[in-house]
Amino acid sequence: MNIAFFASHGGSNFQAIVEAIRNQNIAAEPVLLISNNSDAYALERAKSLGVKPIHISSAQYDTATEFQSALLGVLDEHSIDLVVLAGYMRMIPKVLIEKYHNRILNIHPALLPKYGGKGMYGMNVHSAVHEAGDSESGATVHLVNEKYDEGKILKQGKVAISKDDTPENIARKVLEVEHRIYAETIKEIVEGSIELD
């Protein structure tokens, strides 16, 4: 199973998955790391991990159609089977969602359907959880469809929140869960215990 990762910033989820694939001999190949952001640290991580880094941004093209064909072209050229979004801050074009139907995964730093939807990303999520005084949060791996954060949920992991936790602490705890459950999900997809169709 050839995997393309999409990341806009740090790429810690990308790295955790690549390490899990290699350490646990999961039958998947991390082939590409695609970023819309030429300064993304994820591109550096890709170089260190021996995964091909590619910078593709809509800003490099005159039209959305040209951008989308370039993106699809790269995925095709590398025979990509699965697209793994790991902190990718751009909408996924409809043509890509159609071509990779049920083959695009995302991770969200909350227990969906709570704290999903427009504007709910990064620290906005953890601050909202903190303000609500919730006693738990967590992360959700889900399939990507045309609506934000509404695709089928494949796996969730929870963390307990104490009264003393700040939004930053919650973010740290949730990120640990993300690294664990994202790699687990990919392992289960490869092994067939999670079916994507």
Binders of ligand GRF among residues 105 to 124 (CB under 6 A) are 107-109
Alpha-carbon span 108 to 71, nearest angstrom = 23
By the rule CB under 6 A, 20 interacts with ligand GRF: no
CB nearer to ligand GRF: give 73 or 152: 152
Q: Which of 1, 9, 70, 194 binds ligand GRF (CB under 6 A)?
A: 9
Residue among 32 and 107 whose Cβ is closer to ligand GRF: 107
Residue 7 in the binding site for ligand GRF (CB under 6 A): yes
**Under a CB-based contact definition with an 8 Å cutoff, are residues 138 and 157 in contact?**
yes
| Cα separation, 168 vs 170, whole angstroms | 5
User: 125-144: which residues touch ligand GRF (CB under 6 A)?
Assistant: none
Residues between 164 and 183 that touch ligand GRF (CB under 6 A): 175, 178
Segment near ligand GRF (CB under 6 A), from 8-16, 31-39, 45-53, 60-68? Answer: 8-16
Contacting residue, 32, 35, 67, 87, with ligand GRF by CB under 6 A: 87
Annotation marks residue 142 as catalytic: no
Q: Please name which of 124, 66, 91, 126 lies closest in space to residue 6, comparing C-alpha atoms.
A: 91
Phi, psi (deg, nearest 5) at residue 82 = -140, 135
Nearest-10 Cα torsion for 115, 41, 35, 138: -20
Task: Compute the C-alpha angle 3/7/8, nearest 5°.
Answer: 165
Q: How far is the CB of 55 from ligand GRF (least distance, A)?
A: 16
- Measured between alpha carbons, how far is 170 from 182 in angstroms, rounded to an integer? 18
Q: Does 185 bind ligand GRF (CB under 6 A)?
A: no
Distance CA 148, CA 105 (A): 12
Residues with catalytic function: 108
- Site of interaction with ligand GRF (CB under 6 A): 7, 9-13, 86-87, 107-109, 175, 178
